[in-house]
Amino acid sequence: MTLVSDHIEADDTRTRILVTAEKLFRELGYQKTTVADIAKLLKMSPANVYRFFDSKKSIISAVAKRLMGEVEVAAIAIAATPQPASKRMRELLVTVHQMNSERYVGDAKLHEMVAIAMEESWDVCLVHIECVTGQIGQVIADGVASGEFDAPDVPLAALCVCTAMIRYFHPQMIVEAAQKPGPTIDQMTDFVLAGLAPRR
């Protein structure tokens, strides 16, 4: 029989492995961090880490999923607030930008981690992009219902909004944006909202 407390403990160990792995990936870089390093810092055997993750690749996928998951939770919460759709849309776009900037933009080691996570876990990225696009779609649908927005094809409009925001959402584009002239995120959000406004 598996006790509930065993599940909780297993979840807790899994989370501790991920938090420690992320810390080491950020400090030493992904390539230089070994599963043995992670185990050592946690005072456990590498074999115990392998009980939870079969490879370093699985660890970085799970780290990426966890980081993206936090953004998804925030996006879902904002989409559900009882505010006008345009206000929710602005808050959602700005929050995703800020959270992605904090998570993925920093020094060379962080870059390495993000680039490898995106390459190794592209399926995880795709699910994340779909989730954020889904929340944007939810806000657009609400705006159409209330007459704030005009979008005959809501899923398509959500894809267009997400595409328009690549400069502010995509880790690598956020980095490049610092070297390239462009609108502020508020100005770009105005442009996107104009694209959703009812036509005359």
Query: Which residue ranges make up the site for a copy of itself (CB under 8 A)?
Result: 122, 126, 129-130, 156-157, 159-160, 162-164, 166-167, 170, 172-173, 179-183, 187-188, 191-192, 194-200
Task: Find the shortest distance in angstroms from Cβ 158 to a copy of itself.
Answer: 10
Task: Find the shortest distance in angstroms from Cβ 120 to a copy of itself.
Answer: 14
Task: Find the shortest distance in angstroms from Cβ 172 to a copy of itself.
Answer: 7
Q: What is the number of other CB atoms lying within 10 angstroms of the CB of residue 193?
A: 19
> Which CB sits closer to a copy of itself, 39 or 158?
158
- Taking 3-state DSSP, the helix, strand and coil percentages for the chain, each rounded to the nearest 5, stand at 80, 0, 20
Task: Find the shortest distance in angstroms from Cβ 118 to a copy of itself.
Answer: 9
Task: Find the shortest distance in angstroms from Cβ 78 to a copy of itself.
Answer: 22
Phi, psi of 30, rounded to the nearest 5 degrees: -65, -45
Whether the Cβ atoms of residue 56 and residue 8 lie closer than 8 Å to each other: no
Q: What CA–CA distance (Å, rounded) separates 72 from 66?
A: 10
Q: What CA–CA distance (Å, rounded) separates 7 from 136?
A: 34
> Which CB sits closer to a copy of itself, 30 or 169?
169
> Which CB sits closer to a copy of itself, 55 or 187?
187
> Which CB sits closer to a copy of itself, 22 or 72?
72
Task: Find the shortest distance in angstroms from Cβ 192 to a copy of itself.
Answer: 7
Q: What is the number of other CB atoms lying within 10 angstroms of the CB of residue 163?
A: 10
> Which CB sits closer to a copy of itself, 38 or 193?
193
The string of DSSP codes covering 37-84 is: HHHHHTTS-HHHHHHH-SSHHHHHHHHHHHHHHHHHHHHHHHHTSSS-
Angle at 166 between CA 162 and CA 168, to 5 degrees: 105
> Which CB sits closer to a copy of itself, 18 or 177?
177
Which tokens go with 55? Answer: 């490879």
Which tokens go with 89? Answer: 């849309």
